Amino acid sequence: MLHGFVPWPDEFVRRYRNKGYWEGYSLPAVFGKLAATYPDRLAITEGSRRATHGEIWESSGALAVHLARRGLKKHDRVVFQLPNGIDFFICFLALTRIGAIPVMALPPHRETEIRHFVTSSEAVALFIPAVIKDFDYRLMANAVRAEAPSLAQVFVVGEALAGQRSVEDLLAHPVDPDELAKLDGRALDPGDVVLMLLSGGTTALPKLIARTHNDYVYNFKQSARVAGFNADTVFLAVLPMAHNYTLGSPGFLGALALGGRVVVPPKADGETVFGLVQKERVTAIAAAVPLVVLWLNDPALSRFDTSSLTVVQNGGARLSPELRSRLRQRLACQFQEVYGTAEGLLNMTRLDDPDDLILASSGAPICDDDEIRILDANDRDLPDGEAGELVVRGPYTIRGYYNAPEINAKAFTADGFYRMGDVVKKFGRTLVTEGRKKDLINRGGEKISTDEVENFVLKHPAVKGVAVVAMADEVFGEKACAFVTLKSGQSLSFEELKAFLLEQKIAKFKLPERLEILDEFPVSPAGKILRRDLRDMADARVAADKKT
362 binds ligand DBH per the rule CB under 6 A: no
102 binds ligand DBH per the rule CB under 6 A: no
Question: Min. distance of Cβ 106 from ligand DBH in angstroms?
Answer: 12
Question: Min. distance of Cβ 447 from ligand DBH in angstroms?
Answer: 7
Applying CB under 6 A, among 32, 316, 421, 512 the residue interacting with ligand DBH is 316
Q: What is the DSSP letter of 474?
A: T
Q: Judged by CB under 6 A, which stretch of 61-69, 91-99, 114-122, 341-349 contacts ligand DBH?
A: 341-349
The nearer residue to ligand DBH, 160 or 255, going by C-beta atoms, is 255
Question: Min. distance of Cβ 477 from ligand DBH in angstroms?
Answer: 12
Q: Judged by CB under 6 A, which stretch of 242-250, 349-357, 414-422, 474-482 contacts ligand DBH?
A: 242-250
Question: Min. distance of Cβ 199 from ligand DBH in angstroms?
Answer: 9
* Phi/psi at 296 (5° precision): -65, -25
Contact by Cβ (8 Å): 78, 100: yes
Question: Min. distance of Cβ 189 from ligand DBH in angstroms?
Answer: 24
Q: Judged by CB under 6 A, which stretch of 70-78, 115-123, 339-347, 499-507 contacts ligand DBH?
A: 339-347
348 binds ligand DBH per the rule CB under 6 A: no
Applying CB under 6 A, among 32, 99, 107, 315 the residue interacting with ligand DBH is 315
Q: Which of 274, 263, 252 is nearest to 327 (CA)?
A: 274
245 binds ligand DBH per the rule CB under 6 A: yes
Q: Judged by CB under 6 A, which stretch of 167-175, 225-233, 319-327, 334-342 contacts ligand DBH?
A: 334-342
Contact by Cβ (8 Å): 440, 509: no
Q: Judged by CB under 6 A, which stretch of 11-19, 36-44, 336-344, 536-544 contacts ligand DBH?
A: 336-344
Distances (CA, A) of 284 to 109, 228, 255: 27, 10, 9
Q: Judged by CB under 6 A, which stretch of 338-346, 387-395, 478-486, 504-512 contacts ligand DBH?
A: 338-346
The nearer residue to ligand DBH, 137 or 401, going by C-beta atoms, is 401
Q: Judged by CB under 6 A, which stretch of 27-35, 333-341, 355-363, 382-390 contacts ligand DBH?
A: 333-341
Q: Which long-range contacts (CB under 8 A, 24 or more apart) does 2-10 make?
A: 2/75, 2/101, 2/192, 2/193, 2/210, 4/210, 4/402, 4/403, 5/193, 5/210, 5/402, 6/210, 6/398, 6/399, 6/400, 6/401, 6/402, 6/408, 7/191, 7/399, 8/399, 9/399, 9/416
Annotate 44-80 with DSSP letters as a single string: EEETTEEEEHHHHHHHHHHHHHHHHHTT--TT-EEEE
Question: Min. distance of Cβ 126 from ligand DBH in angstroms?
Answer: 23
Q: What is the DSSP letter of 509?
A: G
Distances (CA, A) of 449 to 100, 195, 441, 452, 542: 29, 22, 7, 5, 22
Alpha carbons 263 and 259: distance in angstroms, whole number: 14
| DSSP H or E segment with residue 403 | none
Question: Min. distance of Cβ 324 from ligand DBH in angstroms?
Answer: 15
Site string for ligand DBH, 196-225 (x = CB under 6 A): ----x-------------------------
Residues touching ligand DBH, count (CB under 6 A): 12
Applying CB under 6 A, among 35, 346, 367, 392 the residue interacting with ligand DBH is 346
341 binds ligand DBH per the rule CB under 6 A: yes
CA angle centred on 165, ends 161 and 168, rounded to 5°? 105
244 binds ligand DBH per the rule CB under 6 A: yes
Q: Which amino acid is at 332?
A: A
3-state helix, strand, coil in the chain (%, to 5): 35, 25, 40
Coil, strand or helix: which one is 37? helix
Q: How many CA atoms lie within 13 A of 315 on its CB side?
A: 30
Alpha carbons 127 and 129: distance in angstroms, whole number: 7
417 binds ligand DBH per the rule CB under 6 A: no
Question: Min. distance of Cβ 30 from ligand DBH in angstroms?
Answer: 18
Binding site for ligand DBH (CB under 6 A): 200, 244-245, 249, 315-316, 338, 340-342, 346, 445
